Amino acid sequence: MNKFHSCEGLVAPLDRANVDTDAIIPKQFLKSIKRSGFGQNLFDEWRYLDHGEPGMDVIQRQLNLDFVLNQSRYRGAQVLLTRANFGCGSSREHAPWALQDYGFRVIIAPSFADIFFSNCFKIGLLPIVLDENIVEQIFHAVSVTEGYRLTVNLENQTVTTPSGEVYAFDVDPFRKHCLLNGLDEIGLALQYADKIKVFEEKRRMEQPWLFT
Amino acid sequence: MQTLYDKLWQSHIVHEESDKPDGMVLLYIDRHLVHEVTSPQAFEGLRLAGRKPWRLDSILAVADHNVPTTERSYGISDPISRLQVETLDQNCEELGITEFKMNDLRQGIVHVIGPEQGATLPGMTVVCGDSHTSTHGAFACLAFGIGTSEVEHVLATQCLLMKKAKTMQILVEGELGHGVTAKDIALAIIGKIGTAGGTGYAIEFSGSAIRALSMEGRMTLCNMAIEAGARAGMIAVDETTIEYIKGRPFAPKGKLWEKAVAYWRTLKSDEGVTFNRVVGLDATQVKPQVTWGTSPEMVATVDGRVPDPSQIADAVKRHDMEHALKYMGLAPNMPISEIYLDKIFIGSCTNSRIEDLRAAAEVVKGRHIAANIKLAMVVPGSGLVKQQAEQEGLDRIFRDAGFEWREPGCSMCLAMNDDRLAPGERCASTSNRNFEGRQGPGGRTHLVSPAMAAAAAVAGHFVDVREIY
């Protein structure tokens, strides 16, 4: 997994609530058996005017210039600012893969859907929950300030604005530890292989019908 | 005192990362269901790390998302879809994982075949790289969808690192009216608490209306828990649960059956236990539901109207509603019954089981789809559901009414195969998501129950199914 310490990056505002994983990465791109290359199809139906299919050369496609990520002022954004319940819908990890592959390292919203939230941590993408009013303030600041950037520090659990305001955010200590060190969760869990085996044997004795 | 969720959680803890109640826990997984879309990268990761699956007999695999629902003897024509299904076949063969292949009679939607085979049993933790894994909670399982990294994690360790959720009880009391189904309860609940209402919670559905539901109805309800934001939905064990499981291929037999049943009967919340949140719903007041927007919470009753954004004070909500109505091509205040349809889809892990097909067939029997309906299709949830429906003559009823009778799979619920809406087409669908582009780019989805979809097929527009049969 990619390590995450801090990020000082341009903020792109996606002013919609309940952005679902079908919107983040449409189903036709889920046919890939690879883990990479999804960034060019992030928000495909909003980002392009023509219909996208796997294998198409995106350079040839018609951009929807009204879509926020296509505006030149947000090119190279690393922080996505959005509204409540971001990532609702399916469990597809392709959604965080696409966001990360596009270049985002942090997503800030008032709330996230559970599976999406958990999936982000597995790949080193940091979802940050900030109070709705703070999110609203940042939305306003982004709209009136071209080149608006935020500094995110995971160690200190802070988001700092260009004018020096500091917002604290919560993160589970275990997830933080894994992100800071880029730890492989499977490797961590396998440290308890003996405990897993003991648990499993007990279960096999007590509920043998689960093991057929 | 414990809730059902507490009991399921507690009984699967292998290791606790900290002594804090909200710390990470290593949780044991009993059943791992696998499909072709979210597993290839997990198998690849396992291979690259030189790891092997921890417990092969916990895994059941099936291809469902990409499979064609038309004649299958020629295989899958789309090369990318074909490669994904072949990759699953190869991974399963190589590792010795049980898989129901495309032309196996037992093949079907993963959330239909698990319970159908008895591979989903009470007290289990069940996971799958698919958000609708919540379906299996109908059997008093802790069942939830996971991402691909977690699929790999379960393959390698038989465990997941999890944080405990809060508990929500949704209490549905009273008798459902004629023509009102579990799907209507699900949509009414989502309309009430919103698609983020269950975020951070595990939901237990209880009350007299839930106990009166068949297992098919309970699966429909738990299936939609994720649409209310809850990763897991569940229902306590009762006689209905036990009767359903009895005799299924993976279910225990003989003495083990007796022992299992005795344990299963303990799988309910203790009397008087406190939940973090309780939501009530009066079943007698639930009417047939129809979604009008691009989120399952954008729902109205069939006798209602499309809402008017100008009446909404909250700016974000108003903006979303305007956007949804534009996408859906609907005018504010328009009666739901004046929404005309192009296509009808009866299927998906929400509503493709035998009871769903019976309910739809009862409505269309002796009738015909309306002239404006370009395509009406029934996609049974599994080969076995299809077979049973055919034995009951339901296929005949549907065909006579002008429906197409297809092979099992996810089909037009998410349109990864060839079944999809064209831009602008409007569909009454028994599936679970009405997101933009879900059933095809530019497609417009209205979520309804099977009986309501059938009635809409006959009328050509939404009608109150209670008035036509």
DSSP B340: B
Q: Which of A27, A49, A61, A143 to mutate to test the interface with B (most CBs of B within 10 A)?
A: A27
Distance from C-alpha of A29 to C-alpha of A51, rounded to nearest angstrom: 12
Count CB pairs under 8 A between chains A and B.
195
Q: Which of A53, A92, A115 to mutate to test the interface with B (most CBs of B within 10 A)?
A: A115
Select from B129, B158, B260 the Cβ nearest to the Cβ of A209: B260
Name every residue whose Cβ is closer than 8 Å to that of residue B76 and which is 6 or more positions away in sequence. B66, B67, B68, B82, B85, B102
Q: Residue A171, exposed/middle/buried by CB under 10 A (0-12, 13-18, 19+)?
A: middle
Q: Please report where in the chains the tokens 């037009």 appear, as a residue.
A: B412
- CB-CB under 8 Å, B44 with A17: no
- CB-CB under 8 Å, B147 with A118: yes
Residue numbers in B near A66 (CB within 8 A): none
Distance from C-alpha of B90 to C-alpha of B9, rounded to nearest angstrom: 34
Distance from C-alpha of B414 to C-alpha of A27, rounded to nearest angstrom: 7
CA angle A12, B295, B411 (to 5 degrees): 110
Distance from C-alpha of B281 to C-alpha of B268, rounded to nearest angstrom: 20
Distance from C-alpha of B267 to C-alpha of B264, rounded to nearest angstrom: 5
Q: Are B236 and B4 in contact (CB under 8 A)?
A: yes
- Pairing type for strands B375-378 and B289-291 reads unpaired
Asked if the C-beta of A196 comes within 8 angstroms of chain B's C-beta atoms, the answer is yes
Q: Are B279 and B171 in contact (CB under 8 A)?
A: yes
Torsion angle of C-alpha atoms B290, B292, B298, B299, degrees rounded to 10: -20
* DSSP H/E element including A185: helix A185-190
Q: Please report where in the chains the tokens 């449409």 appear, as a residue.
A: A26
* Token pair belonging to B330: 């609907």
Distance from C-alpha of B265 to C-alpha of B448, rounded to nearest angstrom: 33
Task: Give A111 to chain B, closest Cα distance, Å.
Answer: 9
Nearest chain A alpha carbon to B126: A210
Bridge partners of A108? A81, A128
pLDDT at position A2 is 81
Bridge partners of B404? B377
- CB-CB under 8 Å, B441 with A26: yes
Residue B221: Cβ within 10 Å count: 29
Task: Give A5 to chain B, closest Cα distance, Å.
Answer: 21
pLDDT at position B20 is 72
Q: Interhelix angle for B354-364 vs B383-391, to 10°? A: 40
Select from A15, A189, A200 the Cβ nearest to the Cβ of B153: A189
Amino acid at A207: Q
Task: Give B13 to chain A, closest Cα distance, Å.
Answer: 9
Question: Which is nearest to A84 in space by CA: A26, A14, A12, A170?
Answer: A14
Residue numbers in B near A118 (CB within 8 A): 147, 150
pLDDT at position B269 is 98
pLDDT at position A211 is 95
Distance from C-alpha of B130 to C-alpha of B34, rounded to nearest angstrom: 9
3-state DSSP helix/strand/coil % of chain B, to nearest 5: 40, 20, 45
- Pairing type for strands A6-14 and A79-82 reads parallel
- Look up the ipTM and state it: 0.97
Question: Left, alpha or beta for A127 (phi > 0: left; psi -120 to 50: alpha)?
Answer: beta
Task: Give B363 to chain A, closest Cα distance, Å.
Answer: 31
Amino acid at A161: T
Amino acid at B194: G
Residue B183: Cβ within 10 Å count: 28
Residue B313: Cβ within 10 Å count: 6
* Token pair belonging to B23: 């710390």
Instruction: State pLDDT tens for residues A104-136.
Output: 999 999 999 999 999 999 999 999 999 999 999
Question: Which is nearest to B25 in space by CA: B46, B38, B4, B11?
Answer: B11
* DSSP H/E element including B316: helix B315-328
Residue numbers in A near B40 (CB within 8 A): 33
* DSSP H/E element including B383: helix B383-391
Q: Are B336 and B304 in contact (CB under 8 A)?
A: yes
Question: Which is nearest to A30 in space by CA: B119, B38, B421?
Answer: B38
Residue numbers in A near B260 (CB within 8 A): 207, 209
Instruction: State pLDDT tens for residues A38-56.
Output: 999 999 999 999 999 999 9
Bridge partners of B352? none
| Sign of CA pseudo-dihedral A87, A91, A92, A98 | positive
H helix runs in A10-164, sequence order: 21-24, 44-47, 94-102, 114-123, 132-144
Distance from C-alpha of B228 to C-alpha of B203, rounded to nearest angstrom: 9
Q: Residue B74, exposed/middle/buried by CB under 10 A (0-12, 13-18, 19+)?
A: exposed
Q: What is the pLDDT along chain A (212 residues), one digit of tens a residue?
A: 789 999 999 999 999 999 999 999 999 999 999 999 999 999 999 999 999 999 999 999 999 999 999 999 999 999 999 999 999 999 999 999 999 999 999 999 999 999 999 999 999 999 999 999 999 999 999 999 999 999 999 999 999 999 999 999 999 999 999 999 999 899 999 999 999 999 999 999 999 999 98
Distance from C-alpha of B84 to C-alpha of B91, rounded to nearest angstrom: 11
Q: Interhelix angle for B110-117 vs B383-391, to 10°? A: 70
CA angle B358, B361, B366 (to 5 degrees): 145
Sheet holding B125-128, edge to edge: B98-100, B59-62, B31-34, B125-128, B142-145
Q: Residue B332, exposed/middle/buried by CB under 10 A (0-12, 13-18, 19+)?
A: middle
- CB-CB under 8 Å, A196 with B28: yes
Task: Give B163 to chain A, closest Cα distance, Å.
Answer: 9
Q: Find residues 340-399 of chain B whose CB sits inside 8 Å of chain A.
A: none
Q: What is the pLDDT along chain B (469 residues), one digit of tens a residue?
A: 999 999 999 999 999 977 776 789 999 999 999 999 999 999 999 999 999 999 999 999 999 999 999 999 889 999 999 999 999 999 999 999 999 999 999 999 999 999 999 999 999 999 999 999 999 999 999 999 999 999 999 999 999 999 999 999 999 999 999 999 999 999 999 999 999 999 999 999 999 999 999 999 999 999 999 999 999 999 999 999 999 999 999 999 999 999 999 999 999 999 999 999 999 999 999 999 999 999 999 999 999 999 999 999 998 899 999 999 999 999 999 999 999 999 999 999 999 999 999 999 999 999 999 999 999 999 999 999 999 999 999 999 999 999 999 999 999 999 999 999 999 999 999 999 999 999 999 999 999 999 999 999 999 999 999 998 6
pLDDT at position B38 is 97
Asked if the C-beta of A2 comes within 8 angstroms of chain B's C-beta atoms, the answer is no
Asked if the C-beta of B18 comes within 8 angstroms of chain A's C-beta atoms, the answer is yes
Q: How far is CA B239 from CA B130, B213, B214, B245, B264, in A?
A: 28, 12, 10, 10, 10
